[in-house]
Chain A
């Protein structure tokens, strides 16, 4: 009876998780072990060909040659997502601290401003960066107007532009969790640290940073995971010239017509992110549990 009740009560969350998380991931997992059909989609038989393709090129005669093409794409994506995470952290921590130190009413306004971009479509916001950064864009006009340069500086279609776009898109995901942990830090702890002869640097390193770590970790995951798989910024701001994981997956599902290969890469990336989350979940447990 109580078992049934508790099952019923859990049903909504179980269904939500099942439908929106487990099923798509299982579908991707299943697709990744199937064969591509010539018109897109997948067909039988089961095969691990898609995973082999990540590491080996199959020649026309069927021999396999080791290739680093896809590893390079994955590596580049990881580096770019890592840089995005680091840059977001560097900007978000002071921002979050600044907001925490304001009066409560100002905080509400500032938090609203941080979340304001969510109200506008990401595609449109990313396109705005194209308009800002292109040769005839606002930034170049300003640079020329200020006499910094005579000719337009190429700002678009390079890794820097992609990075900028990624940082811009995911910054709020770093600010908000850090803010929520910093907000709960008792201000007297900081006073106590100063009282015990700590300087500003040590107060940050020994008190603020350790106490904010759960928020930093949550923010890092919220930025890193979507940045790793993002294809909008790389496509629009990078010109799609150099592939990243996100654009690669998108390509394989559309013009590439190789769904199993796209799925295989998606599964690989998801697995990596999941492992990172598991490690984080273990480390993020409250200290009392670890020492009990």
Chain B
């Protein structure tokens, strides 16, 4: 089982966002405790323990079927756990339906109401929670300005581009000032360039609103650029939880090492270490003269990547990849030496 330690609450926690009667400061915004979820015989989540802090951007990262979307749906209230507690400000919300949680969702493909205008969509949550008409209009205007769609209030969702629909979905979910915003693969339908822009936009909105975001994605690059913390999931469990750099530099096992970035996995014995296996990132590997090198092999393939070149080198310890600057003149079949600093070696638990 993976135990996930509670991170201390950020110093800058702004008190105005806390619900009245919020529990003592040691209690995180959301505390997920021993949550399991089964669909018939299928176990989607197994004993999940996770804290979500105030004002943080947390990403649930994993391949499809790892349980990340199920965990998000449990937070939203669309499913209810088979076992365990989900505490929001100290109160167990696991049995509550979505409309009774101060949590909003940005759905995959946005789920904008096609029969309402953009303003109608953004104001829907306010209207449902009993805001007065003039207040709604003001808030909608403010939200549309925030997502840079100020003049689009009277349009219909089908008159907007994918990126614009995405921003309407964000404005709609943020309008009622939820305590937690859930994002289900929000960028997967956008093209590469737009996705980059929206990553920056999302991060900005999260900082400006001060609301905690939980993002579900299978895109490791997205997770690395936006998150304060990443929870890497596989087969219904959280394998590792930590800051992006921590996860990248110190993956706990083979799966995490391979899923986030690329990694050469070597048997520990080949490096004179004890334990199972060791991961080395290809960009930490330098290609040197064969004579003095710790590892030697023949170049199996050369991939030119523009700024970098990726070499695959066949060594006695297995195939190793080295990512080097520029396009220095290596050739397939040539003998090269490989070397890396000691701190590039990460022991994996497996």
Cα–Cα distance between A287 and B154 once the two chains are bound (Å) = 12
Q: Indicate with 1 or 0, residue by residue over A185-206, a CB within 8 angstroms of chain B CB atoms.
A: 0101101111111110010001
A269 interface residue per 8 A CB criterion: no
B interface size (C-beta, 8 A) = 28
CB <8 Å contact, A191 and B128: no
CB <8 Å contact, A196 and B124: yes
In the complex, residue of chain A having the shortest beta-carbon distance to the beta carbon of B102: A197
Partner of B107, one of A192, A210, A211: A192
In the complex, residue of chain A having the shortest beta-carbon distance to the beta carbon of B109: A188
A207 interface residue per 8 A CB criterion: yes
Q: How many Å from the CB of B102 to the closest CB on chain A? A: 9
B contact set with A: CB distance below 8 Å? 76-78, 97-99, 103-105, 107-109, 111-115, 124-125, 128-129, 154, 156, 158-159, 172-173, 176
| A197 and B107 in contact, given A189-B113, A211-B114, A287-B115 (Cβ under 8 angstroms) | no
> What are 6 of the A-B contact pairs (CB < 8 Å)?
A191-B111, A193-B113, A195-B77, A207-B113, A210-B115, A288-B158
CB <8 Å contact, A192 and B115: no
Partner of B111, one of A186, A202, A206, A291: A186
CB <8 Å contact, B107 and A188: yes
A contact set with B: CB distance below 8 Å? 186, 188-189, 191-199, 202, 206-207, 210-211, 287-288, 291
CB <8 Å contact, A202 and B158: no
Partner of A192, one of B77, B97, B105, B156: B105
Contact partners of B124 in chain A: CB under 8 A: 193, 196, 198, 206
Cα–Cα distance between A207 and B128 once the two chains are bound (Å) = 12
User: What 19 new A-B contacts, CB under 8 Å, besides A191-B76, A194-B77, A195-B99?
Assistant: A188-B108, A188-B111, A189-B114, A191-B98, A191-B107, A192-B105, A193-B113, A193-B128, A194-B98, A195-B78, A195-B103, A196-B99, A196-B104, A196-B125, A196-B176, A197-B128, A199-B128, A211-B114, A291-B156
CB <8 Å contact, A211 and B115: yes
Contact partners of A210 in chain B: CB under 8 A: 115
CB <8 Å contact, B104 and A195: yes
Q: How many Å from the CB of A213 to the closest CB on chain B? A: 9
Task: Give the 7 A-B CB pairs with smallest separation, nearest first.
Answer: A196-B125, A188-B111, A197-B128, A192-B111, A194-B98, A198-B128, A197-B129
Identify the interface centre among B125, B154, B158: most chain A CB within 10 Å of its CB.
B125
Contact partners of B154 in chain A: CB under 8 A: 291
Contact partners of A195 in chain B: CB under 8 A: 76-78, 98-99, 103-105, 125, 173
Cα–Cα distance between A182 and B99 once the two chains are bound (Å) = 22
Contact partners of A186 in chain B: CB under 8 A: 111
Contact partners of B158 in chain A: CB under 8 A: 288
Q: How many Å from the CB of A131 to the closest CB on chain B? A: 46
Contact partners of B104 in chain A: CB under 8 A: 195-196
Cα–Cα distance between A291 and B158 once the two chains are bound (Å) = 12
Cα–Cα distance between A191 and B128 once the two chains are bound (Å) = 14
Contact partners of A207 in chain B: CB under 8 A: 113
In the complex, residue of chain B having the shortest beta-carbon distance to the beta carbon of A189: B111
In the complex, residue of chain B having the shortest beta-carbon distance to the beta carbon of A197: B128
Cα–Cα distance between A78 and B183 once the two chains are bound (Å) = 52
In the complex, residue of chain A having the shortest beta-carbon distance to the beta carbon of B175: A196
Q: How many Å from the CB of B122 to the closest CB on chain A? A: 10
